[in-house]
């Protein structure tokens, strides 16, 4: 579950400043080129290969970008974005509140781990969306079932990474705590939690990715705001350029959220290096 850590390592770490900068610029440049290539493929598919189809034209990059501009300037979209972001934050907060304590217990006790791991692995592999009917039956229509589903989706990476962090705690730190007569709470607060923070952040980053992916379909069910709702709404209005604009926006916001999480991770580990 720590694969995310490797991804976030700046590629040029440890190299002299100039070389690192050149490598960084090259990376960013390649990334931008890749994005442009993607847009070109999109354009070729919708405008060149399917030229003459008015339906395809509505899905083309040009109209999509124009629609995105208009939507961003309008008053509706910011509300939907805010609603969606709030749901992600609530889901993440709930997942942290549940996942970190569970992970601490799981990592601290072989017994708990042996007893709980199969069940957790089983639950983890059930798509959160498959719980949707049950969530609606339990929590009714509205935000509550969405919070439930988002929490359910996001809790696993946080829990498993926290547990991995606890298992990798340096025994010497715990011995130090004992030699200073630390109480259980002091050990938890001053040694274990800071000691697993890096792992928790890795879990948070993975969770944010999952939250964002699960959010949109969740919002297609029984709510009247949010990005998922808005995508269905554009379909119902046959506003296909707006639909594509929303796909772009969802991707972009997800990218932004991941960058934020990555930045937080980087800041945290940088402190340890300097």
Name the site residues for another protein (rule: CB under 8 A): 170, 172-173, 175-183, 186, 190-191, 194-195, 197, 271-274
In the bound state with another protein, the residue whose beta carbon lies nearer, of 235 and 270, is 270
Task: Provide, rounded to whole angstroms, the least separation between the CB of residue 205 and another protein.
Answer: 19
Task: Provide, rounded to whole angstroms, the least separation between the CB of residue 191 and another protein.
Answer: 7
Task: Provide, rounded to whole angstroms, the least separation between the CB of residue 172 and another protein.
Answer: 4
Give which of 31, 80, 7 is closest to 250, Cα–Cα: 80
Task: Provide, rounded to whole angstroms, the least separation between the CB of residue 200 and another protein.
Answer: 13
Tokens of 168: 């990798």
In the bound state with another protein, the residue whose beta carbon lies nearer, of 129 and 169, is 169
The region that residue 63 occupies, defined by phi over 0 for left and psi between -120 and 50 for alpha, beta otherwise, is alpha
DSSP state of 126: S
Task: Provide, rounded to whole angstroms, the least separation between the CB of residue 135 and another protein.
Answer: 38
How far is the C-alpha of 258 from the C-alpha of 253, rounded, in Å?
9
Q: What are the C-alpha distances in Å from 224 to residues 2, 141, 229, 272?
A: 37, 10, 6, 45
The 3-state DSSP class for residue 22 equals: helix
Tokens of 254: 């997800």
In the bound state with another protein, the residue whose beta carbon lies nearer, of 197 and 220, is 197
Tell me if 155 sits within 8 A of 98, measured CB to CB.
yes
Q: Where are the alpha helices (DSSP H) in the chain?
A: 3-8, 17-43, 54-58, 61-73, 76-108, 110-124, 132-139, 143-167, 171-179, 184-187, 193-218, 227-236, 240-273
Task: Provide, rounded to whole angstroms, the least separation between the CB of residue 162 and another protein.
Answer: 16
Query: Phi/psi at 75 (nearest 5 deg)?
Result: -100, -15
In the bound state with another protein, the residue whose beta carbon lies nearer, of 178 and 236, is 178
Query: Phi/psi at 14 (nearest 5 deg)?
Result: 90, -10
Task: Provide, rounded to whole angstroms, the least separation between the CB of residue 198 and another protein.
Answer: 9
In the bound state with another protein, the residue whose beta carbon lies nearer, of 131 and 173, is 173
In the bound state with another protein, the residue whose beta carbon lies nearer, of 145 and 195, is 195
In the bound state with another protein, the residue whose beta carbon lies nearer, of 161 and 241, is 161
């Amino acid at each position: 579950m720590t694969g995310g850590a490797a991804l976030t390592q700046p590629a040029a770490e440890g190299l002299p400043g100039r070389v690192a900068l050149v490598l960084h610029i090259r990376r960013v440049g390649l990334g931008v080129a890749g994005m442009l290539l993607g847009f070109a493929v999109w354009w070729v598919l919708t405008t060149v290969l399917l030229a003459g189809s008015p339906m395809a034209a509505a899905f083309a990059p040009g109209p999509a970008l124009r629609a995105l501009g208009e939507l961003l300037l309008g008053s509706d979209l910011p509300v939907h974005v805010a609603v969606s972001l709030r749901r992600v934050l609530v889901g993440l907060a709930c997942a942290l509140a549940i996942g970190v304590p569970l992970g601490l217990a799981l990592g601290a006790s072989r017994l708990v781990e042996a007893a709980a791991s199969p069940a957790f692995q089983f639950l983890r592999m059930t798509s959160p969306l498959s719980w949707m009917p049950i969530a609606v039956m339990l929590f009714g229509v509205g935000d509550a079932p969405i919070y439930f589903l988002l929490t359910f989706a996001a809790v696993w990476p946080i829990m498993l990474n926290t547990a991995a962090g606890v298992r990798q705690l340096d025994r010497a730190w715990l011995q130090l705590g004992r030699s200073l007569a630390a109480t259980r709470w002091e050990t938890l607060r001053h040694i274990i939690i800071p000691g697993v923070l890096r792992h928790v952040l890795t879990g948070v980053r993975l969770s944010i990715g999952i939250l964002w992916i699960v959010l949109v379909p969740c919002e297609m069910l029984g709510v009247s705001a949010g990005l998922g709702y808005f995508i269905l709404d554009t379909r119902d209005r046959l506003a296909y350029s707006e639909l594509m604009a929303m796909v772009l926006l969802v991707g972009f916001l997800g990218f932004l959220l991941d960058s934020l999480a990555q930045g937080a991770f980087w800041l945290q580990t940088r402190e340890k290096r300097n």
